[in-house]
Structure formats: structure tokens, C-alpha cells
Structure 1
Amino acid sequence: MPAALFVLLSGCVAPAASTAPTAPSNKASGSAGTSFNAAPLLPSSFFAGGAEQFSAWQCQPANQHLVTATTGSDELRLWSLHGAWQLPAAVVASGARYQAGDISFWNRGERAQVETPRGQLQCRLTTQRDAFTRSDHPGVMFRGQGNEPGWWVELAHDTPTLSLVLDYATHEATRAYRVSVMDNENGRVVLESTRPDQPFRLRLEAGACFDGMSGKPFPARVTLTFEGTQYSGCGQGIAPGS
């Protein structure tokens, strides 16, 4: 029963609220897609929501790994391997407690407790990461990155273009993309090349992700297929004014 604890979350808590996409919502990966002159709005579950840090938690007895971001004292954003949720603050005698329906997250210092109708998890803080900001990455609305070989991808905030630096900075490219999937409800986006002679595919999914070398936490998983090679890593949306 504990191993299924966070599988149950998708049926117990409403997903994080999403921004409305520039492109029409399209959940079928076989869609023809649409091109726009402006960059699309991404699901809010990719973003820190104003939080300055992401925190990583290791939870027992199910050996679950969670990511959280606290947006002031009013809300906690929570990511598991199965998606993302927003929990508003609740009254508690000590520590900080957030609850939505029958799901609650309570923490005090480096310890936390998660409760659902199916059971309870005891969690400990393992590491934290400062959220990406526009000051760090000017003009960027999403950044994904990975290792072995080192790579990163950035989506421009104003136009549907992305920049790639691959294979330890030995390969750089800038490409236009079209939106082939925009699933705000489930936090899933797929972007593809606008040119048949320059194929690539970028898949973004809301969910707990951890850097393969440092273990640092992120709110989105990133899969890039470029020139026949697949790159896997983590990413984060970067909001204006951050």
C-alpha cells in the first residue's frame, strides 16, 4: 500500500493551476501542431510560483522522492514522480502545514510528514537549489539541462525559438519550433521543429526531477531528441520579473 501512495495523489488533489496556452489545448501526440509568431504560455506547474528555492525530500517507508517550493506563507507547490499539486496553507500549532482535501504536507525544519487517505510518509530534507531567475537567464522562459554529455536548452520568452548547447558545448544551434502538444491540465508540452530538414523534439513534463550528478531538485523532466540522439535531464520555467 505505501508504494502506491503517490500514485493516488492524482486522484485526490487537483493539479496545479495552469496558464492558458497561446496554442489550442491538444493532448494527442500525433497532432499536426500549430506555429505562432509569439512564444506559447507554459503550464504553471513548470514554475516556482515566486518561490526562491526548490527543496528535495526523501520519504519513507515507500522511498518516495518529492520536490517542494514554498511561495511565501500562503501556498506550497509539490511535485512527485506522478505530477504536480498546489496546497494552500492551513492552521497549525507549530511548523508549517499545507493542505488540499485529504492531502497534507507538514514540515518543521528538515523534517516533513505527508498524509493521504492511504497512509503517511516521513520525509527528510536532502538538498535545496536556488530557482532560476530572469536575472540569471535574461529573455529565457524555460531552461532544461543534463549531463553525460553536458547539455542545455533554453526557450526564448518572446518568440517560438530555442537555443541548444550540446555535448559539452561542442555543438550549438538555434531553431524555430511549433507546439504539437499543449496539455495544461497534466503539465505536458511537446515542441517540434518547423522544418523537415532540421528535425528535433522537446518533451517537457511536470514532475519531481533530480540532477543526475548533483541531485538538485527541479519541477520538470526534459527529454530532447536532436539529430538522432536523445538527451534526458531536468528543467524549470522562469517567470518574468524573477
Structure 2
Amino acid sequence: MRVFPSLLAASLGLALSACQPAQTPAASNAGDAAATPAPAPAPVAADADADGGVNGAGNETLYRCGDLDVRATFNREDAATVVIGGRSFAMSSERAASGAKYGDGKGNSFWTRGSDDALLSLKGEADRECGAVEATEGDGSAGNAAFRATGNEPGWLAVVDGDTPGLQVDVDYGERRFTVAKPTEGADGWVGKAADGTDIKLSFQRTTCQDGMSGETFEAKAMLAVGTRQYHGCGNFGGK
């Protein structure tokens, strides 16, 4: 029997197609997701060191800056809180040629230059050279004093020397200063006359006191009388 060429070509085409391997199906969406690498987890902030840092309380140093007592709390090299009597300044780090400098952007700055020296600049006032005050036994917040008290609105500071009893008083944000060379010590405080004859009395009550501005907790409530003017605040006892 004669076979037509057209029929032969069709038969060969069917045979070849039957021998081809099955086409691989397209990858599913699930396959694509599995192949895509997962994003890296966000970094976790490290906890602060015990001596201060990101979440720590910071390191506190006491300074005597000219006629002012200054308490500076440093959070590593990023920020500092500077407390002067009843005033508190929150400062952040600034560029400095040496040491560590902090400012509040309002014309106030504190610049540490070495382990013990610093420079205090307050807006509208002359710069003050500062020296670190060595802490004594106790909680360290009273410096080298038997008792140290502060108050706010207006800011005031009273310090009773630990070794040679004497009473120094700054009131009205440091605008007025009095010194009682040898105050009389009683069960609840000290009393005496300043060089100009002003009556000075610093008394305390041994009960927990919290500063209304900074939130700091002190060992005692304090009351300062300068003449007929009275000031209220909080205080800490130092080592004698």
C-alpha cells in the first residue's frame, strides 16, 4: 500500500512530541517566599553599665566653682546635669578642643578639663574656675561637710564644715552670702551671727525629704533662717 508523504510527516511529528519530557511547572508563590532571605532583626540596645551609661544613673562629682557649690552628674560623654543651689541645668555634649564640654544651648556650659578641673559658664555671669571636692564618708552627696542643705525658689545653699565647724550660706541664687565662723551646735541644727550681725539659723528634721525640682531624695528636711527670712529645703549628713 502506498503511503502519502503528508501522512508520514504527521505521524513522525506525533511520535517526537510523545518522547519530549514534561515541562517543569512554574515555581509557586510559597517557593519564592522561602527563597527570599529574611530581614535581619533590629539591633537591641545594650543595658547600661553599673557605673552609669545608657540606662544608668551616671557618675556624680562635686565641684567648688568660685563662690558656688556645683554638683555635676555625667552620663558617659553624652550628657550632664549640673545642679547649682536651686538651679538645675540639663546639658548635652559639645565639641571641645580637649576635655569634655556640655551646654544647654542657652548660654550655660560646663567644661571639664582633666580629672579635677573644670570651667563653669553661666549666661550673663563671669566664668568660674572649678575644682573637684573630695567626698567624705557617708553617701558622698554632702562633700566634705558635716551637713549640706539646698532649697529652691529662690535657690539657696548652706554648708556646715566637717573638720572645723563653720557655716557658709548662699541665698537668693548666690546673690547674698553669709559666713558664721563658729556657730553654736544644738540637737537639731546650728545657729550664730554672720560678720555683718545677721542672725543665721540652720535646722534639720531627720525625715526623708524629696527635692521638688530634681526629684532627688535626701536624708533630712532643712530650714534656713537669715534674719527674718526663712527658706525651706532638704539636706544630707556627711562624715566628720
Scaled by the length of structure 2, the TM-score of the pair is 0.39
Which is bigger in relative contact order (C-alpha 8 A, separation at least 6)? 1
Considering only CA atoms, is the larger Rg found in Structure 1 or Structure 2? 2
Scaled by the length of structure 1, the TM-score of the pair is 0.38
